[in-house]
Every structure is written in structure tokens, then in C-alpha cells.
């Protein structure tokens, strides 16, 4: 599933492509991706494209006098992609195109082989789901992180996946963040010292920023708006590297399962284990 860096990549690429264009219509294929009131999007001009957690938000201006601004929210889920096509361009398997957003001078295809993605219209001021804190927002600080951790007995890795705490972090970057912070993923989230919280904050920011610079990570499905894979996969320190030498110390990377999700870490770099601070 695309995580924060992948969705940020798509939003940043779409922003200059769509800015100022008028949305003429939305064509939806099949009943699994139905956009209620999609006819209300016609004739609206794109005001901007941003990321909301793991979702792409296309801000649309009023359609005319007496109408309010709104936004289209796209959640890519497992296999979704947003592909931009200029006049006369073709790309992607037509069987997997679930929706086509037709603009002046181009089309935006929503391609989703497994059909888990969603596209919806909502008011411009609708609250963001999950209500977590965006880790790339300037209001996210070490004290804010300390407050979110707040004595939690949950393991650090499962805690990082909670969208009601930090938005946009998934399985890949949770493992990478904890490696960069030198914290064991089994450690109770609420047991961190001030220094460890500062390390974790720095790792969250630096890992995500670096992944964004490299346009995210591709394992099987993610591609940017031109269909190109992300470049961060070759820089992964632990994720997907079970049995391979740790890039920090040379010891083999381990894989464990936490709440049915694979976790990758280095026992030497992310230790030592201290009694009373660990959960299953």
C-alpha cells in the first residue's frame, strides 16, 4: 500500500499539472468505484493538489454562483495509481482503469487492478479521517510526539502504524524509522526517555523526507504519475532484508511478526533489551 512518501510524490507531481485546469467530467467504470454526485464536479477549476495522510486531495473551486468549493479525495489503497496523460497519450492496462478525470488538455486515470481504491467528493472543509497528526507538518514537534506516546504499552512498531496517532506511516517506513532511531520495535511506546523521543522524532522526519526525495518505494504496484517506480527501495536499511547483513553493523537482519505484520530490525543496532520495557 502506498504510504506517506508515495502519496506525497503523486500529490507534488500532480499539483503543477492540474493547477488551473477545468474538470469537465468524471467517467467511472464498474460499480465498485462509484462517486456520488460526481456530476457536481463538472466545470470546476483545480485550485491545488495536496496530501491528506495517505490520500490525494484535489481542491476544486466553485462551479458557479451560489456553489461552494469542494475537493476530490483519492485513496490508492493496495494497488491504486494516478496516471496523467496528455492529448493523444496512452498508458496502462485499460482493463484496470476504474475512473477517468477529464480536464482541459489531458486526462487523469485512476488505475487499480485489485479494486480496493476509493474516490469521493466532499466539502472543502470536511474533517480529515482518523484525526492523527501529520508527521511532516510544522506543528509536529518532539513534545507533540511525547504527548502522543503518552504512556502507551503498545509496541513501538504497531504504535507507528496507528493512523489516529501519526498519519501516513505504514509497514515499510515504520521499520525504517525505528532502525534509524536505534529503537527495538518490541519496546513499549510509552517507555521512551526524552532523548529517545528526540531520536525517534528526528528519524520520523529524516526517513520520510529522504524517501520523498527519492519518490518513494516500489515493491510491486506503486508508480508515479508517469508510471515510473520509486527509487527509495535500494536505500532501505532493514525492510525486506531478512537474513542480509545490516548496513550498520553487518549482523543479519531479523524478521518478526507483530500483530500479523512483518517487522524487520537489527538486534545489535536496535538493542539492548531492557527488562520491563518490552511487549509481545
Cα-Cα end-to-end distance for the chain: 25
Q: Which of 54, 107, 157, 165 is catalytic?
A: 54
Q: Which of 3, 6, 8, 176 is catalytic?
A: 3
Q: Which of 77, 115, 199, 261 is catalytic?
A: 261
Listed in order, strand segments (DSSP E) in the chain are 22-28, 44-52, 55-60, 70-75, 81-85, 97-103, 106-111, 118-123, 254-258, 261-265
Whether 261 is catalytic = yes
Any idea how long the chain is? 280
Whether 3 is catalytic = yes
Whether 198 is catalytic = no
Cβ(91)–Cβ(227) below 8 Å: yes
Q: Which of 2, 135, 158, 185 is catalytic?
A: 2
Dist CA 261 CA 185 (whole Å): 12
Whether 210 is catalytic = no
Neighbours of 106 (CB within 10 A): 15
Dist CA 57 CA 31 (whole Å): 22
Active site positions, annotated: 2-3, 54, 261
Amino acid at each position: 500500500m502506498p504510504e506517506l512518501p508515495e502519496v506525497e510524490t503523486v500529490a507534488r507531481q500532480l499539483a503543477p499539472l492540474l493547477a488551473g485546469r477545468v474538470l469537465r467530467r468524471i467517467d467511472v467504470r464498474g460499480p465498485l468505484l462509484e462517486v456520488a454526485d460526481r456530476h457536481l464536479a463538472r466545470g470546476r477549476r483545480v485550485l491545488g493538489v495536496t496530501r491528506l495522510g495517505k490520500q490525494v486531495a484535489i481542491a476544486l473551486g466553485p462551479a458557479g454562483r451560489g456553489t461552494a468549493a469542494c475537493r476530490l479525495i483519492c485513496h490508492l489503497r493496495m494497488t491504486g495509481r494516478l496516471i496523467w496523460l496528455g492529448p493523444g497519450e496512452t498508458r496502462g492496462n485499460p482493463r484496470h482503469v476504474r475512473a477517468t478525470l477529464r480536464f482541459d488538455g489531458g486526462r487523469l486515470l485512476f488505475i487499480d487492478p485489485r479494486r480496493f481504491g476509493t474516490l469521493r467528493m466532499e466539502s472543502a472543509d470536511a474533517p480529515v479521517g482518523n484525526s492523527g497528526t501529520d508527521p511532516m507538518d510544522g506543528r509536529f514537534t518532539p513534545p507533540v510526539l511525547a504527548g502522543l506516546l503518552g504512556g502507551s504499552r503498545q509496541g513501538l512498531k504497531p504504535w507507528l502504524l496507528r493512523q489516529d496517532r501519526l498519519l501516513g506511516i505504514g509497514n515499510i517506513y515504520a521499520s525504517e524509522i525505528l532502525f534509524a532511531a536505534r529503537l527495538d520495535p518490541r519496546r513499549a511506546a510509552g517507555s521512551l526517555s526524552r532523548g529517545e523521543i528526540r531520536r525517534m522524532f528526528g528519524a520520523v522526519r529524516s526517513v520520510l523526507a529522504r524517501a520523498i526525495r527519492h519518490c518513494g518505494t516500489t515493491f510491486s504496484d506503486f508508480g508515479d504519475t508517469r508510471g515510473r517506480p520509486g527509487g527509495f527501495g535500494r536505500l532501505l536499511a532493514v525492510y525486506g532484508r531478512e537474513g542480509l547483513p545490516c548496513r550498520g553493523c553487518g549482523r543479519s537482519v531479523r524478521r518478526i511478526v507483530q500483530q500479523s505484520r512483518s517487522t524487520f530490525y537489527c538486534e545489535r543496532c536496535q538493542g539492548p533489551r531492557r527488562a520491563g520495557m518490552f511487549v509481545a
